[in-house]
């Protein structure tokens, strides 16, 4: 009986066998199409005298980068310039995701406030920022920092340790084992740390734009929680804040997480627009390298690989978190 069953599984009449065959055929067709495109591209480039390959990554970059999280010099290899761009992209994406989440959750909860003014402000914010193109918002914030704010030697003071000026946003930072507090100088801020106008413009644009969508995701998740759960929490005498933190949000998270992942992916990909205002992210570095070396296919491939990797990593992390929050059937 076992032999007959095994022979049937490899017969063309077997649905499982036919499915396996079609999958192998599909993979072969995709592989053949990829090989044809790659071979055709290389042949055309060779016929036109265009160099190809990634050997340019080990030559000197030959250009400076305005801001870097690692030590960098124009004589460093091109791959290190790409590393600087990648770190700048990750920095604005990670900080942006955290701030957009905090602001979006506040907006989503605010839409259910009993205060009509607060509820209206949250609604107005959402409709305003999500209906203005993200590129225009980036340009707006960049103009605010470079044209409207005062010069570095006359900054706007927030408390006694935070400063806003055309030089960016200055704040205390841990340097050489002590907290260094910034102080206004004649041409720059002395001490502390400073986020450049380009970084602040990209960050604010991404945060305000994405938070409007996250607010709607949170609002939909809260609305999906059965009213009986809220009534049960009220009958137990829980205050409103405790109801939100202990009853409503934990249940709403199961609805919120999948669309929230899409917003995180959108924020990361939208960071590529930073090149419009001169922020040295990976797209800006790739564009400069492309102009210097002429390796268009290779530079575009690196950009695609960076965003594909960061997006897949973000999706994998959120899928893991979604499984942890899912209801487990007993």
When pLDDT is cut at 50, 70 and 90, the band that residue 1 belongs to is: very low
* Nearest-angstrom CA–CA distance, 141 and 161: 22
Beta strands in the chain (DSSP E): 156-158, 162-165, 168-171, 173-175, 178-180, 183-184, 189-190, 193-195
Distance CA 268, CA 103 (A): 17
What are the residue ranges spanned by the domains of the chain?
A: 23-52, 96-282
Which of the four pLDDT bands, split at 50, 70 and 90, describes residue 294? confident
pLDDT greater than 70 at residue 29: yes
pLDDT at 157: 87
CATH class of 96-282: mainly alpha
Q: What is the pTM of this model?
A: 0.84
Q: Do residues 104 and 214 touch, judged by C-beta distance below 8 A?
A: yes
Q: Are 200 and 214 in contact (CB under 8 A)?
A: no
Per-residue pLDDT, 90: 95
pLDDT, tens digit, 9 for 90 and up, residues 240-283: 888 888 888 888 888 899 999 999 999 999 999 999 999 999 99
């Amino acid at each position: 009986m076992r032999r007959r069953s095994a022979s049937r599984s490899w017969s063309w009449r077997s649905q499982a066998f036919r499915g396996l065959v079609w999958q192998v055929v599909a993979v072969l067709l995709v592989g053949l199409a990829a090989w044809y495109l790659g071979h055709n591209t290389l042949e055309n480039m060779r016929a036109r005298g265009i160099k190809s390959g990634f050997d340019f990554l080990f030559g000197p970059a030959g250009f400076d980068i305005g801001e870097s999280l690692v030590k960098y010099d124009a004589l460093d290899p091109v791959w290190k310039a790409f590393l600087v761009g990648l770190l700048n992209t990750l920095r604005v994406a990670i900080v942006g995701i955290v701030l957009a989440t905090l602001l979006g959750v506040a907006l989503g909860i605010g839409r259910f406030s009993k205060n009509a003014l607060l509820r209206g402000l949250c609604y107005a914010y959402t409709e305003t920022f999500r209906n203005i193109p993200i590129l225009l918002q980036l340009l707006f914030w960049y103009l605010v920092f470079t044209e409207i704010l005062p010069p570095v030697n006359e900054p706007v003071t927030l408390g006694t340790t935070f400063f806003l000026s055309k030089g960016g946003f200055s704040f205390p930072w841990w340097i050489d084992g002590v907290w260094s507090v910034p102080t206004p100088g004649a041409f720059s801020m002395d001490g502390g740390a400073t986020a450049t106008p380009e970084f602040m413009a990209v960050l604010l644009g991404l945060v305000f734009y994405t938070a409007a969508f996250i607010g709607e995701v949170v609002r939909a998740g809260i609305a999906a929680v059965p009213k009986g759960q809220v009534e049960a929490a009220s009958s137990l005498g829980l205050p409103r804040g405790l109801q939100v933190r202990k009853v409503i949000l934990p249940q709403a998270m199961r609805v919120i997480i999948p669309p929230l992942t899409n917003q995180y992916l959108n924020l990361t990909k939208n960071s590529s627009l930073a090149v419009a205002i001169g922020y040295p992210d990976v797209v800006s570095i790739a564009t400069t390298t492309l102009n210097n070396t002429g390796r268009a296919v290779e530079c575009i491939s690196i950009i695609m690989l960076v965003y594909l990797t960061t997006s897949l990593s973000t999706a994998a992390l959120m899928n893991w978190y979604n499984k942890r929050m899912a209801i487990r059937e007993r």
